[in-house]
Amino acid sequence: MGTWIALLRGINVGGVKYPMTELRAALDAAGASDVQTYIQSGNAVFTHPARSEAKVKAAVEAAIAEAGPKKPIPTMIRSAAQWTAIIEANPYEPEQPTHLHVSFFDDPVPATAFAAIDLDAFAPETFTVHGREVYLHLPNGMGRSKLAVELTKGAKAAPVGTSRNWNTVQKLADLSSR
């Protein structure tokens, strides 16, 4: 049984209501065990007998689709080992963990997705693409970030993803190591 982390996109923040009790039940129906959710924005840590990320993702998304909201909910899946690597790859000092974010995608982010963005125009805000993750350093916070808005516009060329602040990333690491 491997330990997995699921990140649901856009629930309980964008008009799609999905209580964590329902998420836990859907994960149980998907074959997960030891399910723990963290806050109301669609974060879960669980064990699952499948060994591949693709199989875990398919089982989780099917169970959510069957039991959840009428609208599909994109779900990013990472193993506990992948999660550790994501933390280790962070290129920024998390002095203010709520100002450091990681956006998660299913596939590697194409190099061309954000190539047109002039980082000097957004300083001191910055970002780094690393495989399937984009690390965002936003010293004034996500809510006031002009760079985050620009990245969302540029994301039309990138796959659908979901973001979490560094506090959430660390908490999910703690939960996955238990």
Q: Of 40, 59, 83, which residue is a domain's last? A: 83
The residue range of the domain holding 37 is: 2-83
For residues 67-93, give the mean pLDDT: 92
Looking at the structure of the chain, the number of domains it has is 2
Can you give the pTM of this predicted structure? Answer: 0.92
Question: How high is the pLDDT of residue 52?
Answer: 96
Q: Are residues 169 and 117 in the same domain?
A: yes
Q: Of 22, 57, 83, which residue is a domain's last? A: 83
For residues 62-67, give the mean pLDDT: 90
Q: What is the dihedral of CA 129, 135, 140, 146, to 10 degrees?
A: 40
Question: How high is the pLDDT of residue 157?
Answer: 54
Q: Are residues 65 and 141 in the same domain?
A: no
Q: Are residues 98 and 167 in the same domain?
A: yes
Q: Could you read off the pLDDT of 27-42 as tens digits, one per residue?
A: 999 999 999 999 988 9
